[in-house]
Chains A and B, each alone.
Chain A
Amino acid sequence: MLQLKNIVVQYGVVKAVRDVSLHVGKGEIVSLLGPNGAGKTSLVSAAVGILPKAAGTVTFEGRNITRCAVEQVVTFGLTLTPEGRRVFADLSVAENLHLGAATRKDRAEVAEDIDRYLKMFPILSERFHQTAKTLSGGEQQMLAIARSLMSRPKLLMLDEPSLGLAPRIVDRIFELMIELKKTGLTMLVVEQNATEALRISDRGYIMAGGTLVYEGEAAALAESEDLMEHYLGGGVAA
């Protein structure tokens, strides 16, 4: 469904991502793991067109989207939930959800979708008219995910959805992803929390120092203690 081929992302002379290729199949949850500074966020940001790519191609559902602007990529059905719960703090929950549908023109269906996600995330319906900054960390993450879903993605990229959240909330978020998978949504999850992410994933990739160091079935990855220890446990990149 999504194919990244030989992607290079460069900040000046520093290469944050070097020649990375990966793919996500329809209906899968794929995790992209790795320590801080491995280039995971740069890779997904470049994939949707927020960051420029120095080289490589991105194909989504057979269409080459390497040179497409973000607003176009979103209309094709590829949406990124950026890292760090970037909700619009001074805007209300309602406005945040509306903004998720920025690329859509079908007003009536947007309203229907809002109803659907308020049922899925009851806490958001309680806080519908409050500004997003009054929400707790977990609630803000729910809002960020619901907002991304408002664009009706076929493939959702979640960048560090568990970052800075209490373990109980993290469990809720991962349960939610399993529910979303049942609705047919494909997901690419960027995580440092490898054990949790692999539990819900079909496959996994490990990045370190800007390159892909391992790929495989999630179960196999989770069992290979060496690998986990080496790249994720110690937090030291190769």
Chain B
Amino acid sequence: MNRLRQSLINSLFPALLVLVCITVVHFFAEPFQVRVAYVFFMNLTIAIGLQIFMGNTGIVSFGHISFMGIGSYAVAILTIPLAMKRILIPDAPFGLAYVHLSIFPACVVAIAFTVLIATLFGFVLKRLTGNAAEILTLALLVITHVVFIAWIDLFRGPRALYGIPIVSTLYWAGAAAIVAIVIAKAFRDSEGGLQLRASSENLLAARAMGVPVEKLRFRAWILSSGVVAMGGILHATFLGTVGPNSYYFDQTFLIMAMVILGGMRSVSGAIIGTALVAAGSELARTLENGPVIFGEKLPTMFGLTGFFLGAVIVLSMILRRDGIMGDDEFEDVFHRWMRRRKEENSGKPSAVSTSSAS
């Protein structure tokens, strides 16, 4: 209970950052900037979901974006009005063409269904380590993509599903991000989270201590799939349309760049990485279109955003493999800074002990 309270307290600062960000956007932003902020919170939710798994197990996952896709498609299929569904997917199996839920139950079902898929896949994954596990997650991404494209009766194949009620707002996205942060921090600080992090550092020693590595890995996988599904729901209910290509390599690399740049072992790192990559891609997108700066028309540079993401991953691999934050959370940096300040104020530690003794 004590650990939980501590990690709730430690979640306050990042949660406050999100709230400040929302407030600023609410009062000062143009509509297109609101859209940028919404996408930022959505990506933040997904990046933190990915961090829950990658950060604690040390296994790189290319597969989490499929959970985003499954969550999106599930909520889409459940909430598109029946009349529209009769046109889009009249032959949907399991009578899904005649099922309609209002938005909240649909979200719950979508998350539950994503978690169910993750559970089935998790039985295979938890037995594997290292490269084998990573390649398996890549396979998951490809399999889901192929299912979205090939199961035309249900997903309408490569063409988009549309007509999803656009009900999500910036505030929902912000709330989802905060929920994700709290879940991630609580899991990281929990007994199981600590044991899992230890096992990612030294599997043999952790197993010798009796750490149930497989069970904990499974738990992280399930938990992260649910959080990422939340991000998928944010995506579908904001755009009103879902298509298979939104949940493939582009999105995977965007989120990977965010988590790797910030430092995958830290929740705070995921937040910083998401902010930097979002700002960077926004800048790259502007430059891509050849803006006019100081009366000079810059050339259009198609593909600059993709190049930027690649560069971020390459540079952080070369310069700082552990990412900006490494193992540290915001509170660790804060405590260290406080300690250093205290030492500076009190002068040499030895001088203090003699003066207190006399």
Most B-side CB within 10 Å, residue of A81, A90, A102, A148: A102
* B151-205 with Cβ < 8 A to chain A: 191, 194-195, 197-198, 201-202, 204-205
Interface pair B210/A86, CB less than 8 Å apart: no
Residue-wise interface mask of B (202-215) relative to A, using a CB-CB cutoff of 8 A (1 in contact, 0 not): 10111111111000
Our pick among A80, A86, A91, A151 for the contact of B197 (Cβ within 8 Å) is A91
Q: Is the CB of B209 within 8 A of A95?
A: no
Query: Are A82 and B197 in contact, CB atoms less than 8 angstroms apart?
Result: no
Partner of A82, one of B194, B205, B210, B211: B205
Tell me whether A89 and B205 are in contact in the complex, defined as CB-CB below 8 angstroms, given that A70-B210, A95-B194 are known contacts. Answer: no
Q: How far is the CB of B350 from chain A (nearest CB, A)?
A: 15
- Residue A75, interface by CB 8 Å: yes
Query: Which one of A69, A72, A74, A90 lies within 8 Å of B209 (CB-CB)?
Result: A74
CB atoms of B211 and A50 under 8 A apart:
no
Per-position binary interface string of chain A over residues 67-92, scored 1 when its CB falls under 8 Å from any chain B CB and 0 otherwise? 00111111100011110001111110
Whether B208 lies near A90 (C-beta < 8 A) is no
Q: Judge whether B91 is part of the interface by a CB distance below 8 angstroms.
A: no
A58 to chain B, nearest CB (A): 15
Check B208–A99 contact: CB distance below 8 A.
no
With A71-B212, A90-B327 already in contact, the answer to whether A99 and B198 are too (CB < 8 A) is: yes
Docked pose: A60 CA to B13 CA in angstroms: 50
Q: Does A100 sit at the interface, judged by CB under 8 A?
A: yes
Compute how far the CA of A48 lies from the CA of B212 in the bound complex, rounded to whole angstroms: 14
- In the bound complex, residues from chain A placing their C-beta under 8 Å from that of B198 are 88, 91, 95-96, 99
A-B contact pairs, 29 of them (CB 8 A): A50-B208, A70-B207, A70-B208, A70-B210, A71-B210, A71-B211, A72-B210, A74-B210, A75-B210, A79-B209, A81-B208, A82-B204, A82-B208, A86-B205, A87-B202, A87-B205, A88-B198, A88-B202, A90-B201, A91-B194, A95-B194, A99-B198, A99-B211, A102-B191, A102-B210, A102-B211, A147-B209, A151-B209, A151-B210
| Interface residues in chain A, defined as those with a beta carbon under 8 Å from any beta carbon in chain B | 48, 50, 69-75, 79-82, 86-91, 95-96, 98-100, 102-103, 144, 147-148, 151
